[in-house]
A and B are shown apart, each in its own frame.
Chain A
């Protein structure tokens, strides 16, 4: 009798406990926000735009249905705080809004130029939001960018945001920063934040009068400037530079690659450079980071010596010069080193003098020079030391491979290589 009673009690307990917690919410009953855009409000303090997944379309995607509905629904609400806006949006939608599957947050340019900490910290505290989501600055504003984001290649719109960082790895023309890293740099006493910028390209840039970048600075575009036509008006190129918690400037695609190179994070990128031996002829190299940069910090003499190690592959040579030959390969490497070194110095001058932003994060190398945190904070890296420190950059490039051609030979009519 006792055994039967125990089993009965156990059964009742199991049934009660596994039936779900009292706060459970069914996945089918929620509205999933994929992207949030935060701008300065027209009337109230903030204008928050939510891009919500149309689960009806996503579910129908595999079966070919969907009835021509949009894969995402966009709604903007004005309010004093982000969560007040979210609450207001809940009065419109039939399903409760959840940020559990949010992939990205866009901050409008105007807002980013204010003290951003007060718009980032609330999101870090919020338990639904993952700190591995990406943070972008939208130009001119987040609402427009979200409205024009059309993930045409994806049936599932969330995949668009998930795959975006992979395209960054291919080009290194923008730097996707996770919320946790962005917040970390806001809190850091030895580094400043940097993140990707996105903008709208109306497709008319091609028809407008615009300055074509020098080959060695290619592609020095900002969002909205790429001469192109076609669908998908949103483009990511370049980065927003922050000093402490305020956005202080933008760098273009080419400068972003230089920044990544200085940080030791350059995945790969095609570099165009003028042929050192043949005028009006171009060479394209596929460059990637060889190993982490070597940074020697000499705080006594106020100097940082950095060596950047790059590896490359010849992607294209327009002339008939045989750059595959060791002597000419060295010439090409030196030529590339000089160009890149000058780009690094130009970017560092901007960061140090114009923006007082340690976006590269040199300050973290200063940390190991001190024994205690009190000594480090006394240094006052961001305000006192960094803007005045002399940063000397040396580039060491090795062209490891020459593609599928081992010796360039001239076509009939082309001049023979002098070597």
Chain B
């Protein structure tokens, strides 16, 4: 097994913060809009359903990893599926994680251009994100986890403050008819937007958790925290904007913070929130890039993940320029949301069945 050296221990709080930040990154993009489009007035119910589904996917990974202490998802695949098939599945996971990086590089950078820096070239924004992401990931996972731990209070404070300061614009009538597009549609839309990559991330990084109990705690609180943040944002956003208006917006969070206006002096403060937005983007990209590179490193049994990190960065940055415009990038993201459920839910479910089947047959799980 390949051992990547850590420079220190990683605690539950650090990893939970890392997964929380990774989970809420989608909150700053057009994702909340998609939930509202799916559920109309009940977009917030879609967010609840999606969170419940994502906790279910997480449970799959928690259950799967219980039988493989100290091993990462890469080793689990090879053990359960054999060397050849395991390698193929591992490569599929690496592609999945790096494809997420590609989508986020482009969408985050486009979001920055659309909101705060309309005159800055895309290459500069992508370049800064890439530099920040690889810079943090280069110093190993514990640097990344500690950065996440340090920035989480500021990110949460910014999020809470931004939601509280628009409460004066909320209208309770916006939540009615309460079931929006109807119960069945809410359920299917909740499933459609339930993809989270944090289960995969956590399973790949499993050896860095102190034990399975810590793994369970950190992943649960990270994903639940992210889900709560998403539900809160969609709920407040829907209270402020009626459905027909809410589904028009490309960047719901930015639109929300632009509304903040408490008297003549407390307004025009969206730039403060953009800082937290940038922090989240940087950490999300760094951890996903790190995990993607780690899967490749372990799959190819390399002694160090850093050369792969650089290679992965170059490939993902280059690919992020391929979509010709923002709608194409969002289309790619939508494609990922549906097919991403294969590595995030279907494969771990199959592996659990396989593992239990082996157990029953008396073999090692």
Contacts and interface: CB of A to CB of B under 8 A. Distances in A.
A188 interface: yes
B119 A370 contact: no
Contact of A127 (B118, B120, B241): B118
Interface in A174-189: 180, 183-184, 187-189
B173 A365 contact: yes
A162 B268 CA distance: 14
B117 interface: yes
A17 B245 contact: no
A22 B178 CA distance: 46
A376 interface: yes
Interface string B72-93: 0000000000000000000000
B177 A13 contact: no
Contacts of A13: 131
Contacts of B124: 21-22
A127 B119 contact: no
B177 A372 contact: yes
A184 B264 contact: no
Given A22-B121, A162-B264, A368 B241 contact: no
A363 B169 CA distance: 19
Contacts of A1: none
Interface string B163-183: 000000101010011111110
B244 A187 contact: yes
A22 B267 CA distance: 25
Contacts, number: 75
A67 interface: no
B258 interface: yes
B10 interface: no
B115 to A, nearest CB: 7
A371 B264 contact: no
B259 interface: yes
B177 A371 contact: yes
Contacts of A23: 117-120
Interface string B182-212: 1000000000000000000000000000000
A22 B124 CA distance: 9
A87 interface: no
A343 interface: no
Contacts of B176: 367-368, 370
Contacts of A184: 241-242, 245
B173 A367 contact: yes
A364 B259 CA distance: 22
B238 interface: no
Nearest to A159: B264
Interface string A183-209: 110011100000000000000000000
Given A127-B118, A365-B173, A187 B258 contact: no
B173 A127 contact: no
A371 B178 CA distance: 6
A131 interface: yes
A354 interface: no
Best-buried of A17, A21, A22, A372 by chain B (most CB within 10 Å): A372
A375 interface: yes
Interface string A336-367: 00000000000000000000000000001101
A132 interface: yes
Contact of B177 (A25, A130, A131, A367): A367
Nearest to A189: B244
A367 B243 CA distance: 13
Interface residues of B, number: 34
Chain A interface size band reads 20 to 34
Contact of B179 (A24, A180, A183, A371): A371
Contacts of A364: 171, 173
B156 interface: no
A368 B181 contact: no
A396 B121 CA distance: 62
A374 interface: yes
Nearest to A13: B131
Contacts of B258: 130-132
Contacts of B40: 373
Nearest to A25: B119
A187 B242 contact: yes
B261 interface: yes
B242 A188 contact: yes
Interface string A371-410: 1111110000000000000000000000000000000000
A276 B180 CA distance: 51
Contacts of A21: 117, 119-120, 124
Contacts of A372: 177, 179-182
Nearest to A125: B248
Contact of A373 (B121, B169, B177, B268): B177
Interface in B110-128: 114-115, 117-121, 124, 128
20 contacts: A13-B131, A21-B120, A22-B120, A22-B121, A127-B114, A130-B258, A130-B267, A131-B259, A132-B267, A180-B169, A180-B241, A183-B245, A187-B244, A188-B244, A364-B171, A365-B173, A367-B176, A368-B178, A370-B177, A374-B181
5 closest residue pairs by CB, A with B: A23-B119, A367-B176, A187-B244, A364-B173, A370-B177
Given A131-B255, A373-B243, 17 more contacts: A22-B119, A24-B119, A131-B258, A132-B258, A180-B259, A184-B241, A184-B242, A188-B242, A189-B244, A364-B171, A365-B173, A367-B41, A368-B173, A368-B176, A368-B177, A370-B177, A372-B181
Interface of B: 40-41, 114-115, 117-121, 124, 128, 131, 169, 171, 173, 176-182, 241-245, 255, 258-259, 261, 264, 267-268
